[in-house]
């Protein structure tokens, strides 16, 4: 079935945005790579990026309905800066349980500014991948598929 790759604010700038922190890989590169990884695991990938919190909430709600219908494996989600601000994202992910959401951060947020150390999303996440660069998305997809087979088995 389908895996949803969700990227939050400013991740459309990947590749040109602070390359020393986030690398030179573009979001299109990440989405193409994730599509290949998903395909290799027998799934298809849908990718969505938004700079708007409400759009991300709507995507999580829609994903929850598709998960319930058996059409979706789960979500790989980099919430960007909303990680550190959004009670609404925590509530949305909590509200569509048990759909698994894997939280990804390209950078090691714990080695950066103190305001990046707290995540509202993490307590609702099924797993977290932090600090592996854009490779983290691959690891997250692999981890999501393993989680899903554990849930099913
Ligand atoms: C990020 C880390 C966040 O603190 C930051 O606001 C981002 C990207 C990461 O992938 O490392 O936009 O989520």
Q: What is the pLDDT of residue 54?
A: 98
Please indicate whether residue 120 is annotated as part of the active site.
no
105 noted as active-site residue: yes
The C-alpha atoms of residue 109 and residue 111 are separated, in whole angstroms, by 5
Nearest-CA residue for ligand 1 atom 8 is: 80
ipTM of this complex: 0.99
Coil, helix or strand at residue 122 = helix
Predicted confidence at residue 153, as pLDDT, reads 62
Residue 117's domain is classified under what CATH number? 3.40.50.9100
The CA 112 to ligand 1 mean position distance, Å, reads 10
b/e burial code for range 55-86 (CB count within 10 A of at least 16 → b): ebbebbeebbebbeeeebbbbbbbbbebbbeb
Residues of the chain with pLDDT under 50: none
Q: What is the pLDDT of residue 85?
A: 98
Domains contained in the chain, number: 1
pLDDT of res. 63: 98
Q: Which long-range contacts (CB under 8 A, 24 or more apart) does 15-21 make?
A: 21/106, 21/107
**Which residues form the domain of 11?**
2-152
């Amino acid at each position: 079935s389908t895996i949803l790759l969700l990227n939050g604010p400013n991740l459309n700038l990947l590749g040109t945005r602070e390359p020393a922190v986030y690398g030179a890989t573009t979001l299109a590169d990440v989405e193409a790579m994730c599509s290949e990884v998903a395909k290799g695991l027998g799934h298809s990938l849908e990718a969505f990026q938004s700079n708007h919190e409400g759009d991300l909430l709507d995507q999580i709600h829609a994903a929850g309905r598709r998960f319930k219908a058996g059409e979706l494996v789960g979500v790989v989600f980099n919430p960007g800066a909303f990680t550190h601000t959004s009670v609404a994202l925590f509530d949305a992910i909590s509200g569509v349980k048990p759909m698994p959401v894997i939280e990804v951060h390209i950078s090691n947020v714990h080695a950066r500014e103190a305001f990046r150390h707290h995540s509202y999303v993490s307590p609702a996440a099924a797993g977290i991948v932090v600090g592996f660069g854009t490779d983290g998305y691959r690891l997250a997809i692999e981890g999501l598929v393993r989680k899903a087979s554990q849930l099913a088995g």
